Chains A and B, each alone.
Chain A
Amino acid sequence: KAGVTQTPRYLIKTRGQQVTLSCSPISGHRSVSWYQQTPGQGLQFLFEYFSETQRNKGNFPGRFSGRQFSNSRSEMNVSTLELGDSALYLCASSLSGSEQFFGPGTRLTVL
C-alpha cells in the first residue's frame, strides 16, 4: 500500500505571496492532519480533516487554511507569506484520527 505523499517537496516563495501544499493520504484513510515544524516552536498542529469536514484547528492565524476533497486528498494554503512561515509542513493520515502516518513533508522557505 502506498504511503502518504506530499507535493511539492521543496518550495521557495517571497514575502506576501501565497502557497498551496498538497497531501494524498494512504488509500482508505479518511483523516488528514497538518503540522508545522520549526526549530523554535517544534511540531505544532495546524488542522485536521475527516470526510471533508474540519474537525479541529490549532492556534494559527487565518492566513492558514485547508480543505479536503471527496477522495480524501487535502490541500493547505498559506496566504500573505511571512518570513516566519518558513518551516517543514508535515501531513499525516489515519483511518479515523488515532494512529497517524506521516508523509515526507514539504520544506517551505520564505525569502
Chain B
Amino acid sequence: GIQVEQSPPDLILQEGANSTLRCNFSDSVNNLQWFHQNPWGQLINLFYIPSGTKQNGRLSATTVATERYSLLYISSSQTTDSGVYFCAVGDSTSGTYKYIFGTGTRLKVLA
C-alpha cells in the first residue's frame, strides 16, 4: 500500500518565524489533504490539494504529484498554530476510498 512520510517529526519555532512541512508519498494519488489537529483531537481541514498550489491567509500548500510530495508553508507563525499537522493521501481510481495518514509534524510555537 501507499506509504506516507512527514518531516520533520517535531518543530519548535519562535512566534513570527516561517516554516515548511513536507509530505512524501510512495505512489500515485488523486486525493491529498492537509489537516491541523487541535488540542481536543478534531482534525481541521487546511487544504484539499491533489495537485498545484493554494493559499489561505498565512498558510499555503503545494503538491507536485509527479514527484510525489506536498509542502505546507506557514508564515509569520502564531502560538495558535501549535498542534499536529497531518498529511493524508488517497487513491480512488481503483474504487477504494480510504485515506492513508502520515505520522504528523508536531509544531510548537513559542511566544
Partners in one complex: yes
Question: Which of B41-49, B53-61, B74-82 contacts the other chain?
Answer: B41-49
CA distance A104 to B43 in the complex (A): 7
A55 and B40 contact, CB distance less than 8 A: no
Chain A residues numbered 58-111 whose CB sits less than 8 Å from any CB in chain B: 58, 88, 90, 92, 97-105, 107
Q: Which residues from chain B contact A90 at a C-beta distance below 8 Å?
A: 41, 43
A55 and B95 contact, CB distance less than 8 A: yes
Whether A31 is near chain B, meaning CB under 8 Å from some CB there, is yes
- Residues of A in contact (CB 8 Å), total 26
Known contacts A42-B101, A48-B97; decide if A107 and B41 are in contact (CB<8 Å): yes
- Residues of B in contact (CB 8 Å), total 22
Whether A43 is near chain B, meaning CB under 8 Å from some CB there, is yes
Q: Which residues from chain A contact B41 at a C-beta distance below 8 Å?
A: 37, 88, 90, 104-105, 107
B98 and A48 contact, CB distance less than 8 A: yes
Using a CB–CB distance below 8 Å, which chain A residues touch chain B?
Answer: 31, 33, 35, 37, 42-45, 48, 50, 55-56, 58, 88, 90, 92, 97-105, 107
Q: In the complex, given contacts A42-B103, A97-B97, A98-B92, what are 15 additional A-B residue pairs having Cβ atoms less than 8 angstroms apart?
A: A33-B97, A37-B41, A43-B86, A44-B101, A55-B95, A88-B41, A92-B43, A97-B90, A98-B31, A98-B48, A99-B33, A99-B45, A100-B99, A102-B43, A105-B41
